[in-house]
Amino acid sequence: MKALILTCNTGEGHNSAAAAISQEMARQQISCDTADALSFISERLSKIVCTCHKHVYRHIPQAFRAGYGYSEKHEALFSDRSLIYRALASGTDNLRDFVETGDYNLLICVHVFSALMASELQRRCELPVKTMFISTDYTCSPSMAESQMDLYCIGHRDLAQEYADNGVDPARLFASGIPVRQAFTQAPERGLARHSLELPPEGKSLVIMGGSMGAGPVEELTLRLLELLPLDCDLTVICGNSSRLFEKMNAIEAKGLRVLGFTQQMPQIMAAADLFLTKPGGLSISEAACCHLPMLCMDVVGGCELRNLDFFKAHGWADSRPDTDELAQTAVAWLTDPAILAQKKQRLERDFRVSAAECIVSAARELAAGRRAALAEMQQLRLAE
């Protein structure tokens, strides 16, 4: 088996999912490469799309919210006659050449754009290649009906009906969970994590993050929390790739406050923390859930993230509050009540026990080898658990 993972640089979530699958492929000694799907259309277009997405996401969240809502209500937006679909299809020939030259027999798509491109590739060329879609959110993306994947790996079994309602064949669904890197599924014990980060062994620890783009009311939330937090609580603010937010946060002088930019230490930071304040990006909350870290979420951009939040709230894995002040007050109330944190942690420990990346790679093996009966058995087990 030789796999090609097709990602997209619209935020780090898709790349993180790709990295998790690639890591598990390497662990199982399976040949695997990763490529930016939009680069097969043009490198310039990929940069433009990703830059625009980041700008809207960070600075005009209401536009993202409105755009996602529009796409949910207008199915033709991604039909094979639409401008978007034709633009994606224009990269099909380059993708075909890449697949044939690399001798890949499995395409793993971690973004809806790459799923549509892979679907068009199969319609045109009928290559001897199997295809998988890996969801990075706890909802069905509006364009799924226009894709034709051999297997759809979804975030949870309770989402199966939503996918079926949106035109995906139920026989092709696999409730794998959202893949996160092994460092999150095998995070260090809290004391060891705190020692590695040079944090005091006692006291509570709160982490705030607005995703890789530093979105949301991070500054306002930080200032309010610094007024409310008890003295034995340290506060870590992750600014992601936002240099502007990093500079503003660094200008604040307060005991117990740590300000970080983009960091590779998130598994240790989550393992050392008692509470996570974040926007509900699919990967961020999945990583925290695998670390069994209680969460409070801020609704920043709506759309698929609001669906993630609603799903996590419905299952008791996270909660939210409507404004910054209530978020801050609730965070302090949770941190000063060990029973609440213990209850939230136990729920996550119960429901996040299996590595989604391992499940996905196991399914990929069966799919690529054409062992349909074995794959169907795996699908039924995951949907029934």
- Contacts of 67-75 with C-beta under 8 Å, sequence gap 24+, read 67/303, 68/142, 68/302, 68/303, 68/304, 69/302, 69/303, 71/142, 71/143, 72/142, 75/142, 75/145
The reply to whether 188-290+293-351 shares the fold of 2-182+355-384 is: yes
Q: For 276-298, what is the mean pLDDT?
A: 96
Q: For 281-294, what is the mean pLDDT?
A: 96
pLDDT, tens only, 323-338 = 999 999 999 999 999 9
- Most confident segment among 85-99, 251-265, 274-288: 274-288
Comparing 76-80, 134-138, 288-292, 348-352, the range with the smallest average pLDDT is 76-80
Asked whether the predicted pLDDT for residue 99 surpasses 70, the reply is: yes
SS3 for 351-365 is: HCCCCHHHHHHHHHH
More confident call, 302 vs 261: 261
The DSSP H or E segment spanning 131 is strand 130-134
Q: How far apart are CA 253 and CA 249, in angstroms?
A: 9
Q: 0.85 exceeded by the pTM?
A: yes
Q: For 256-265, what is the mean pLDDT?
A: 92
Domain 188-290+293-351: CATH superfamily, name plus number: Glycogen Phosphorylase B; (3.40.50.2000)
Q: How far apart are CA 132 and CA 190, in angstroms?
A: 36
Asked whether the predicted pLDDT for residue 55 surpasses 70, the reply is: no
More confident call, 212 vs 124: 124
What CATH number has the domain spanning 2-182+355-384?
3.40.50
Is the CB of residue 37 less than 8 Å from the CB of residue 45? no
Is the CB of residue 265 less than 8 Å from the CB of residue 199? no
Instruction: For the chain, give every domain's residue range.
Output: 2-182+355-384, 188-290+293-351
What does the pLDDT read at residue 243? 87
What is the percentage of the chain residues whose pLDDT exceeds 70? 92
pLDDT, tens only, 105-142 = 999 999 999 999 999 999 888 889 999 999 999 999 88
Count of alpha carbons within 13 angstroms of residue 73, beta-carbon side: 7
What does the pLDDT read at residue 69? 62
Is the CB of residue 319 less than 8 Å from the CB of residue 326? no
In Å, what is the CA distance from 339 to each residue of 30, 294, 333? 44, 12, 11
Asked whether the predicted pLDDT for residue 70 surpasses 60, the reply is: no
Asked whether the predicted pLDDT for residue 81 surpasses 90, the reply is: no
More confident call, 48 vs 365: 365
What does the pLDDT read at residue 346? 96
Q: For 84-92, what is the mean pLDDT?
A: 84
Query: Which residues are within 8 A (CB) of 355 and not within 5 positions of it... i.e. 6 or more apart?
Result: 24, 179, 182, 185
Helix 61-73 crosses helix 303-314 at what angle (to 10 degrees)?
80
Mind giving me the DSSP string for 51-102?
A: HHHHHHHHH-HHHHHHHHHHHHH-GGGGSTTSHHHHHHHTTHHHHHHHHHHH
pLDDT, tens only, 331-357 = 999 999 999 999 999 999 999 999 999
Mean pLDDT of the chain, nearest integer = 90
Asked whether the predicted pLDDT for residue 311 surpasses 70, the reply is: yes
pLDDT band at 258; cut points 50, 70, 90 = very high
